[in-house]
């Protein structure tokens, strides 16, 4: 457990030192809460959907966790370019321990970021069922763990930071927009429903929404089961790919 704890602690220290990153990563969730939450609120209410902010906030929280988790994993590219990864990999510990510690650290950071966005959403008028917050935190952690492991798997196969735009445009943004975070999946086009059902983030958003007292599309049990299965898969894949990194 020693190497895992050290890598976990290192990720937390890196996050705490980067105040600009902490503040900057809150910009996009704030824009979504303000522009979408209040901009589309009247339209959503007139359509019979109720308070749009109550619907949107879980999706924005999931977005904050997603972005932070993915980029925590992809920090491996940065470490590889500046030699920090080589120093880590030559240590007399298993690469699985290193990967697991980094992933848990990145997931913890993403969970903290999601919690901050949750508190901001409360200030904007989000009124969830607070009794279910522990369950919501569990869903947030599963989302964070899944996408940090996915980021690690991706970073293990990439060699330069120029891959960032590809990851943003062809992975992260589609994951978010096709997750049901900003529109309800109920009643949408059948093709879009199929795409969403293949998206692990859709189950995280749905589970978060149900935890906070909203309506669930898949069912909370299904959300938990599918998220856990995706977590196990990407942790295994990320560990295997990380063990193949050449130094």
**Per-residue pLDDT band at 231 (split at 50, 70, 90):** very high
| Gap between the terminal Cα atoms of the chain | 24
In this structure, what token pair is assigned to residue 43? 């339209």
pLDDT score of 205: 95
DSSP secondary structure of 79-97: HHHTTHHHHHHTSSS-HHH
User: What tens digit of pLDDT does each residue of 34-89 get?
Assistant: 887 777 767 776 666 678 888 889 999 999 999 888 887 777 777 777 666 666 66
Using CA atoms, how far residue 94 sits from 34, 91, 98, 172, 229, in Å, is 46, 8, 7, 30, 24
CB-based contact 217:180 (threshold 8 Å): yes
- In whole angstroms, give the CA distance from residue 171 to residue 143: 15
Residue 99: name the closest of 63, 73, 68 by CA: 73
Helix (H) or strand (E) holding 177: helix 173-177
156 Rama class: left (phi>0) / alpha (psi -120 to 50) / beta: alpha
pLDDT score of 130: 78
The whole-angstrom distance between residue 15's C-alpha and the CA centroid of its chain comes to: 16
CB-based contact 207:224 (threshold 8 Å): yes
Cα-atom radius of gyration of the chain, to the nearest Å?
Answer: 18
Task: Specify the higher pLDDT residue, 93 or 122.
Answer: 122
Residue 149: name the closest of 222, 203, 208, 69 by CA: 69
User: What tens digit of pLDDT does each residue of 180-214 get?
Assistant: 888 888 877 778 888 889 999 999 999 999 998 87
User: What tens digit of pLDDT does each residue of 163-186 get?
Assistant: 766 776 788 888 999 998 888 888
Residue 7: name the closest of 97, 111, 91 by CA: 97
CB-based contact 63:28 (threshold 8 Å): yes
pTM of the model: 0.89
pLDDT score of 230: 94
- In whole angstroms, give the CA distance from residue 199 to residue 201: 5
Give the CA angle between residues 137, 141, 142 to the nearest 5°.
120
In this structure, what token pair is assigned to residue 159? 């060699």
């Amino acid at each position: 457990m020693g190497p895992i704890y050290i890598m976990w602690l290192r990720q937390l220290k890196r996050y705490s030192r980067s105040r600009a990153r902490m503040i900057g990563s809150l910009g996009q969730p704030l824009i979504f809460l303000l522009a979408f939450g209040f901009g589309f609120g009247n339209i959503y209410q007139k359509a019979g959907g109720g308070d749009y902010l109550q619907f949107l906030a879980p999706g924005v929280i999931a977005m904050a966790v997603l972005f932070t988790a993915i980029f925590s994993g992809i920090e491996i590219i940065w470490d590889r370019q500046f030699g920090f990864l080589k120093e880590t990999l030559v240590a007399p510990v298993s690469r699985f321990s290193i990967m697991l510690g980094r992933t848990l650290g990145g997931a913890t950071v993403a969970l903290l970021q999601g919690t901050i966005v949750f508190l901001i959403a409360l200030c904007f008028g989000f009124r969830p069922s607070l009794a279910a917050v522990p369950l919501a935190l569990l869903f947030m952690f599963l989302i964070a763990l899944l996408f940090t492991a996915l980021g690690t798997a991706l970073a293990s196969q990439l060699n330069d930071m120029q891959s960032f735009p590809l990851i943003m445009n062809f992975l992260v943004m589609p994951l978010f927009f096709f997750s049901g975070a900003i529109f309800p999946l109920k009643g949408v086009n059948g093709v879009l429903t199929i795409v969403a059902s293949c998206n692990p983030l859709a189950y995280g958003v749905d589970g978060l929404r149900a935890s906070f007292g909203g309506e669930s599309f898949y069912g909370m049990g299904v959300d938990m089961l599918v998220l856990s299965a995706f977590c196990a898969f990407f942790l295994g894949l990320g560990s295997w790919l990380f063990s193949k990194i050449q130094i």
